[in-house]
């Protein structure tokens, strides 16, 4: 197996495992447990599913590490095209990972508030539920801040895929378009929280762009050759 093909397969594998772990964290640790806007129900769900909730938290951290490793593998693969742009998307990914991991602490905070520990006895049950819900909203906001970085990293990534000469140009174009729609989704979350129509475009496009790149790297890999349109470093 040539060097470039091996690097492509490693990047694809890491990206695929990240997608699976991230989806598992949402399905196991949050889906059916967090009910935004209903503090009492959410508090009861967290107490009843404490182990699931914590497993979801751990999987979320594991997914963040995998995402960074996938970005590092893509950096190794694409840095011959343009070293500076490859480093840029790696740093943007790192910024998103750091913010996401920091926001995950709010998940633990919400569970601590409804855990029934002695230090919470000075609060009423409804007050604890409200505080836990506030912590979850803080987690949600932090997660969306991370998406700004995760959206931005797609632009240099897509550009390098387009310019590489050893990966399909159409994937690069879709990644760059996805950058625009994902940034719009993230910013509209803060500016116009009730406007979610853009998600009908950004979510399917994101699946096509990132899952498509993952499958291509895993199945077809990349040719072991100098980029056709390599740029000066």
Q: For the chain, give the percent of residues with pLDDT over 70.
A: 94
- Per residue, the 3-state secondary structure of the chain, as one string, reads CCHHHHHHHHHHHHHHHHHHHHHHHHHHHCCCCCCCCCHHHHHHHHHHCHHHHHHHHHHHHHHHHHHHHHHHHHHHHHCCCCHHHHHHHHHHHHHHHHHHHHHHHHHHHHHHHCCCCHHHCCCCHHHHHHHHHHHHHHHHHHHHHHHHHHHHCHHHHHHHHHHHCCCCHHHHHHHHHHHHHHHHHHHHHHHCCCCCCCHHHHHHHHHHHHHHHHHHHHHCCCCCCCCCCCCCC
Domain boundaries, the chain: 3-219
pLDDT in tens, 131-168: 999 999 999 999 999 999 999 999 999 999 999 988 89
**Residues 50-89: pLDDT tens digits?**
999 999 999 999 999 999 999 999 999 999 999 999 999 9
Mean pLDDT score, 218-233: 55
| pTM over the 0.85 mark | yes
């Amino acid at each position: 197996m040539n060097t470039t093909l091996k690097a492509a397969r490693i990047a694809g594998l890491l990206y695929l495992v990240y997608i699976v772990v991230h989806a598992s964290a949402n399905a196991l640790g949050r889906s059916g447990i967090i009910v935004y806007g209903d503090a009492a129900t959410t508090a009861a769900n967290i107490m009843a599913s404490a182990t699931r909730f914590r497993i979801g938290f751990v999987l979320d951290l594991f997914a963040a590490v995998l995402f960074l490793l996938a970005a590092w593998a893509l950096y190794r693969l694409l840095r011959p095209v343009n070293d500076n742009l490859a480093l840029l998307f790696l740093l943007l990914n790192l910024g998103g990972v750091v913010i996401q991991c920091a926001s995950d602490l709010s998940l633990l905070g919400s569970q601590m508030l409804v855990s029934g520990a002695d230090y919470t006895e000075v609060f009423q049950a409804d007050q604890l539920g409200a505080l836990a819900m506030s912590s979850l909203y803080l987690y949600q906001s932090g997660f969306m801040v991370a998406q700004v970085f995760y959206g931005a990293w797609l632009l240099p990534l897509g550009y390098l895929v387009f310019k590489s000469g050893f990966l399909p140009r159409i994937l690069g174009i879709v990644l760059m378009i996805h950058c625009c729609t994902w940034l719009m989704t993230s910013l509209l979350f803060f500016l116009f929280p009730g406007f979610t129509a853009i998600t009908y475009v950004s979510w399917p496009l994101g699946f096509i762009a990132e899952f498509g790149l993952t499958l291509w790297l895993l199945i077809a890999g990349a040719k072991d050759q100098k980029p056709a349109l390599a740029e000066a470093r």
